[in-house]
């Protein structure tokens, strides 16, 4: 599961020119773009991948108050029809985002494929630390995959090597 979840997270990152897919496709999207304006991502590894045009960014909520703020914000967003959540490992709120998403899925009867989850790992970690960060990211979210994974502020901030070497290694 560790390797499979990581491959699923990285699948959307692969450019169309990168060759064959790195893992089996995640479940087909079932976003209802008649109710939520969406854009189709170009050069996605999965042609036709759609992303809601608006989303809730969870940066700034953090894990304070036992996650009350991020949990309430996400749950209310989903109840209002929101389908895209943008979070990051560094925001310290992914377990609360996961809790809200699972609560809403139970409440609404919708499955994971109805939502678009973007997450970020710290940039410039190098290959080994990036892989570990992806594992932590997926574990905290508990979704099995994310729809879009980004390197957050890709500077050379961790690991051995120059900043440029670490940025390149982050994408391996």
Residues 40-86 have pLDDT tens digits of 888 767 778 889 999 999 887 766 555 688 899 999 999 999 999 99
pLDDT band at 6 (very low <50, low <70, confident <90, very high): very low
Mean pLDDT of 99-119: 95
Query: What per-residue confidence (pLDDT) applies to 169?
Result: 67
pLDDT tens by residue, 142-166: 999 999 988 877 665 555 667 677 6
Torsion angles phi and psi, residue 131, rounded to 5: -60, -45
Q: What is the pTM of this model?
A: 0.75
Catalytic residue among 61, 91, 104, 145: 91
Relative orientation angle of helices 126-141 and 94-108, to the nearest 10 degrees: 40
| pLDDT score, position 31 | 79
Residue 104 designated active-site: no
Average pLDDT estimate for 6-17: 38
Tell me what the pLDDT averaged over the chain comes to.
77
What integer pLDDT is reported at residue 32 of this predicted model?
Answer: 81
User: Helices marked H in the chain — which ranges?
Assistant: 2-11, 68-79, 94-108, 126-141, 163-170
């Amino acid at each position: 599961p560790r390797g499979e979840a990581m491959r699923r997270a990285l699948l959307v990152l692969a450019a169309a020119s990168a060759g064959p897919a790195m893992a089996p496709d995640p479940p087909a999207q079932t976003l209802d773009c008649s109710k939520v304006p969406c854009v189709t991502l170009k050069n996605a590894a999965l042609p036709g991948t759609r992303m809601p045009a608006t989303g809730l960014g969870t940066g700034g909520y953090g894990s304070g108050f036992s996650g009350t703020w991020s949990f309430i914000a996400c749950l209310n967003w989903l109840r209002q029809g929101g389908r895209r959540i943008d979070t990051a490992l560094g925001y310290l709120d992914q377990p609360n985002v996961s809790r809200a998403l699972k609560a809403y899925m139970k409440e609404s009867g919708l499955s994971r494929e109805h939502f678009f989850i973007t997450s970020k790992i710290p940039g410039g970690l190098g290959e080994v630390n990036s892989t570990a960060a992806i594992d932590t990211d997926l574990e905290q979210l508990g979704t099995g995959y994310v729809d879009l994974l980004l390197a957050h502020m890709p500077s050379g901030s961790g690991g051995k090597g120059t900043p440029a070497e670490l940025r390149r290694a982050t994408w391996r």
